[in-house]
Chains A and B, each alone.
Chain A
Amino acid sequence: MRILYRLILKEFKQIFRNKIMLPVIFIIPFIQTIILVYSATLELKNSDITIIDMDKSMISANLISKFQASPFFKVELMSYNEKEISDALLKDKTKAILIIPKDFEKNLRSGIPVKILLNLNAIDSQSSGLINIYVGQTVLGIFKDFKPFLSKIDLEQQMPKVDIRPSYWYNQNLNFKFFMLPGILTILVSMIGIFLTSFNIVREKEMGTIEQINVTPIEKWQFLTGKLLPFVLIGIFDLTIGLLFGIFMFDLPFEGSVYTMFIFTILFLIAGIGIGLLIADFSNTLQQSMFMLLFFFLIFILMGGTFTAVESMPDWAQAINVVNPMYYYMRVVRSILLKGSGVLDLIKDFWALLVYGITTVFVAVWAYRKTV
């Protein structure tokens, strides 16, 4: 026990004396939450849209002003010119081009079905999809506004009969920050866990200090626990800062209990650190571990549901997620924060992370060799 205490003490001393590590651990959480939560947003705002009005009628003018008033769009008007249209999209002058055809109003009034053409730049498929939906809603809105004028057409027939009124549970206003912030926090915690532990051990290998440690009676479990514990503590510390930041700066709801959050964070950190230890076992230089870590980390983040919904992934990808600790933790953090789930509600994730953590740490300790 005295040895373990010394090892941990040594680890903390080294961390606090490291001019790069220290800021990474204690300042990056702030910067990351501020920058990423504000910038990494899927909300659509001020998207450039070009409208070509070939009808020049009252309704088309109204439609344009509706777009102009919308916070989602920044409207530019253009006259019809085939070359300019393709140019505008090609040169990224606009994201979408909406063409209101001739006789738009006339046809509407006489009940003839009308068609509006919307050309979208689909390089960024996500935002073009959103623009499509917003444009559709805005255009539909016009029909409602002009209902009295359009008496000749049977609006009942055109409008959907079932009026779906969504009620967004757990995030009533669909606040995107409430989706992103837990995601960013998760990334933060796993970076501390996986990266720092791994680097820390590989650094001992690179500096040669492992050689001196290896001739001492220190057992490998002591050495690895000495590496694991400080980073579990730092991970929890960083999560706490991030959460407080989220709560006070972004009004992030915290419906669940702090205990549940910490229990799952510790479980996740142990699993993540286990992976970090495993990677350190197999690398001799920082470069090697860096690339291995990045490879796994990217898969973990992108598949774990930080930015995209796991449910929309193909089945095989969802199957891979069984070995992705981020997948469990990501879901758990959001559920605890927004839904107020307790350990019992998340019992499946609890067991999964527990088994994961124990397995990786055991395999890592087993695979770690004091003698080469």
Chain B
Amino acid sequence: MYEIEIHNLCKNFGKTPALDNLNLVVKKNEFYGLIGPDGAGKTTLMRIITSLLLPDSGYLKVAGLDPGKDYRELRLKLGYMPGKFALYQDLSIEENLTFFATVFGTTVKENYNLIKSIYSQIEPFKNRRAGKLSGGMKQKLALSCALVHKPEILILDEPTTGVDAVSRREFWEMLNEIKSHGITIVVSTPYLEEAALCDNIALMNKGKIISSGSPEEISSTFPEDLFIVETKYIPQTLKVLRQFPNLINVNSFGHSLHLVLKKNTVQTKEIVDFIENKGISNIKVKKGKPEIEDSFIYFSSSNL
């Protein structure tokens, strides 16, 4: 039994397809990540799952319900945190929380154990207006409000966008804590490195899922050879490698270059020679394990 089940889902905005024949399943109590750049269709998908938007066609079941028809029931089972801070800025922390608890027909007290670890961090400031909170505190409040009615599924649209690295790590820890209460979590993020923190992920690009599975699965299904080239002269080497025969892909990853070549066609030695022939010395080349980002770049370019 899947918590979220989507088959052949399509949604167009005018003539632009936002979601193109999408298939996706999320298991109960899974931590699922939708990974992809801006405009990939992550928000559209989440809005369809949360019953805010109707799809054009396709099969869709969320918590066993049809968001188009059973939205009343479904909304009680869903917690949604939109990408943009959507709480009342002129109400205090406590007032926002009480408001959303009442609206869901519950009280803060009733589900306090669920939000305790998050809410207790901002509780000392409970009389402060939401609009005057820092980014991290706003996020904690939004998460508390989305959880206050003890939803079965928590849906978070880019919760870590625009948040500093420390707060981001903290936030993922909070999500893991929430998961331990048996809640299914669907989170979207444009940060590929966050993919590794999810149980399962779907790489999205241009309204399509280009690859899905656990982060390890996605890495292991990488069909080509990946070489990591270390050099002091990144831009020059990059330029040289672009001329490598039968090249699939080359990209800079911080202090190294990732070179993708057809499986079992080239030895590391050949690459070193190729670069040194062009007058760049002192380089190291080794075979590497593909990261999510490599997979994303590979799958999104091979899909075009």
Contact = CB atoms under 8 A, between A and B. Distances in A.
A binds B: yes
Interface of A: 2-3, 6-7, 10, 13-14, 17-18, 207-218, 370-372
Given A6-B102, A215-B78, A217-B105, A372 B88 contact: no
B53 A216 contact: no
A217 B53 contact: no
A211 B95 CA distance: 18
Interface stretch (B68-76, B117-125, B212-220, B263-271): B68-76
A73 B103 CA distance: 66
A17 B130 CA distance: 13
Given A371-B51, A371-B54, A372-B52, A3 B102 contact: yes
Contacts of A216: 75, 100, 103-104
Interface of chain B, main secondary structure: loop
Interface string B73-111: 001101010101111111100010001101111000000
A212 B80 contact: yes
- List the 9 closest pairs (A to B, CB-CB), nearest first: A212-B86, A208-B86, A208-B84, A215-B80, A6-B102, A216-B103, A211-B82, A17-B90, A211-B86
A94 to B, nearest CB: 55
A212 B85 CA distance: 9
Interface residues of B, number: 29
B95 A13 contact: yes
Nearest to A6: B102
B145 interface: yes
20 contacts: A6-B99, A10-B99, A13-B90, A14-B90, A17-B129, A207-B89, A208-B84, A209-B87, A209-B88, A210-B86, A211-B52, A211-B82, A211-B84, A212-B82, A213-B103, A215-B78, A216-B103, A370-B52, A371-B71, A372-B53
Given A3-B103, A6-B99, A208-B82, A215 B88 contact: no
A215 B75 contact: yes
Contacts of B145: 212
Given A13-B91, A371-B51, A217 B86 contact: no
A292 B235 CA distance: 55
B235 to A, nearest CB: 41
Contacts of A370: 52
A243 B92 CA distance: 36
B205 interface: no
A46 B230 CA distance: 92
Contacts of B84: 208, 211
B295 interface: no
A10 B51 CA distance: 25
Given A17-B90, A212-B80, A215-B75, 4 more contacts: A6-B99, A10-B91, A17-B129, A216-B103
Contacts of A371: 51-54, 71
A10 B98 CA distance: 10
A215 to B, nearest CB: 4
Contact of B86 (A3, A10, A17, A207): A207
B50 interface: yes
B87 A215 contact: no
A372 B32 CA distance: 26
Contacts of B53: 371-372
A213 B145 CA distance: 11
A371 B54 CA distance: 7
B115 to A, nearest CB: 16
A215 B51 contact: yes
A208 B95 CA distance: 18
A10 B87 CA distance: 12
A7 B100 CA distance: 10
Contacts of B88: 10, 14, 209
A3 B105 CA distance: 8
Contacts of B82: 208, 211-212
A215 B50 contact: yes
Contacts of A14: 88, 90-91
B76 A217 contact: yes
Interface string B12-42: 0000000000000000000000000000000
